Amino acid sequence: MATDFDLYGTDTPAPVAAGQGAEKEPGLVYGSAEEFLHEQLLPTYVRSVTVKSAKWCIEWYFHPEAVSRVAALWRSWEHLRLDPKTGMSVWWKDHADHHMRVLLDPQGPFYNCDMKEHRYPEHLEPKKAPAGWFPDVRALQA
């Protein structure tokens, strides 16, 4: 009998190799961060998005921070869905709630966009630190 969790790929057992009894590495439910965003994250993480309370950009993929956070959400979901005890709770508490709060923050990565139009954000401009402050650790490993 299927549970509600089965509908969302959260109760998927790891496949067993035929005749071996050994567990194989389970496959991914979603093939990309974008597929995960459209099919899992946004349909389940429903919020009121207004200019004052939250911001979203319909062209979210033009925001490197958003892409990185959505990819992190996807990968952590793929890993934690395999924990039948507290995996989803951990994912919501430690990953979804954290990253979505940052993504939707009016001062977050979509601060310059509105629901209908993407506007490229202004990037922070760093100044190089004085020589020697941040040595290349790769050279120390050699």
Residues 78-110 have pLDDT tens digits of 999 999 999 999 999 999 999 999 999 999 999
Query: From CA 135, how far away is CA 112, in angstroms rounded?
Result: 35
Torsion of CA 29, 97, 3, 13, to 10 degrees: 40
Sign, CA torsion 95/96/100/103:
positive
Tell me the whole-structure pTM to 2 decimals.
0.72
pLDDT of amino acid 125? 76
Sequence ranges of the domains in the chain:
64-118
**Structure tokens, 53:** 């309370």
Tokens 């650790």, located at residue: 137
* The predicted structure's pLDDT at residue 21: 58
Per-residue pLDDT tens digits for 36-81: 999 999 999 888 777 678 899 989 999 999 999 999 999 999 999 9
